[in-house]
């Protein structure tokens, strides 16, 4: 059986926080606010994967009230999800994600992001695609008030025909 999941996340951009996307530290005056490292891209990927295996959402697994996840490296959370996927007998087929950030431009970081996300999932980087786009000056994304990410993940249950 092939199953698909969708993920969406948004975090506020604030001064004095690092901007970490897909596990990559991006040089920026503003960073993302959150209980963990606020890696909006990793969180969207996590939700897509949890959705694909029917396992709820990131907030259920890593509650922002739990001190264990304070300033957590979101790639560590992704590795937890990868272990859960394996435990339940699924294999990740591919992940596709889009980050929406007005600035800075992410083009030069996309490859590193896909490599870091793929490594956390023990996948070939060719199975993890990262795209970047802007808010074009519109709404909270365009006003540089926040960043958003969306992701789709496809998984396969072992031994089952697609």
User: Under the rule (CB under 5 A), what is the footprint of Mg ion?
Assistant: 9, 43
State how far the alpha carbon of 147 is from the alpha carbons of 2, 4, 24, 71, 77, in Å: 30, 24, 15, 18, 20
Using Cβ positions, the residue closest to Mg ion within the complex turns out to be 43
Q: Identify the CA nearest to 46 among candidates 97, 88, 100.
A: 97
Give me the least distance between CB of 43 and Mg ion, in Å please: 4
Which lies closer to Mg ion via its Cβ, residue 98 or residue 156? 98
Give me the least distance between CB of 128 and Mg ion, in Å please: 18
Which lies closer to Mg ion via its Cβ, residue 43 or residue 109? 43
Angle between helices 110-120 and 40-52 (to 10 degrees): 40
Length of the chain: 162
Which lies closer to Mg ion via its Cβ, residue 56 or residue 89? 56
Give me the least distance between CB of 126 and Mg ion, in Å please: 26
CA dihedral 101, 20, 51, 3 (to 10 degrees): 80
**DSSP reduced 3-state for 35:** coil
Nearest-Å Rg of the Cα atoms of the chain is 15
Are residues 70 and 21 in contact, defined by beta-carbon separation less than 8 angstroms? Answer: no
Are residues 145 and 103 in contact, defined by beta-carbon separation less than 8 angstroms? Answer: no
Which lies closer to Mg ion via its Cβ, residue 38 or residue 87? 38
Which lies closer to Mg ion via its Cβ, residue 7 or residue 135? 7
Give me the least distance between CB of 1 and Mg ion, in Å please: 28
Give me the least distance between CB of 32 and Mg ion, in Å please: 8
């Amino acid at each position: 059986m092939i199953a698909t999941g969708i993920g969406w996340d948004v975090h506020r951009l604030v001064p004095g926080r690092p901007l970490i996307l897909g596990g990559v530290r991006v040089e920026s005056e503003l960073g993302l606010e959150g209980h963990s490292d606020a890696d909006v891209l990793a969180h969207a990927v996590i939700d897509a994967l949890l959705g694909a295996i029917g396992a709820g959402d990131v907030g259920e697994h890593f509650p922002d009230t739990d001190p264990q996840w304070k300033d957590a490296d979101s790639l560590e959370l992704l590795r937890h999800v990868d272990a859960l996927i394996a435990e339940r007998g699924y294999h990740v087929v591919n992940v596709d994600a889009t980050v929406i950030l007005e600035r800075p431009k992410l083009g030069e970081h996309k490859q590193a992001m896909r490599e870091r996300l793929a490594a956390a999932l023990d996948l070939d980087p060719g199975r993890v695609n990262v795209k970047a786009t802007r808010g074009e000056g519109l709404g909270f994304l365009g006003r540089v008030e926040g960043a958003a990410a969306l992701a789709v993940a496809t998984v396969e249950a072992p031994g089952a025909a697609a």
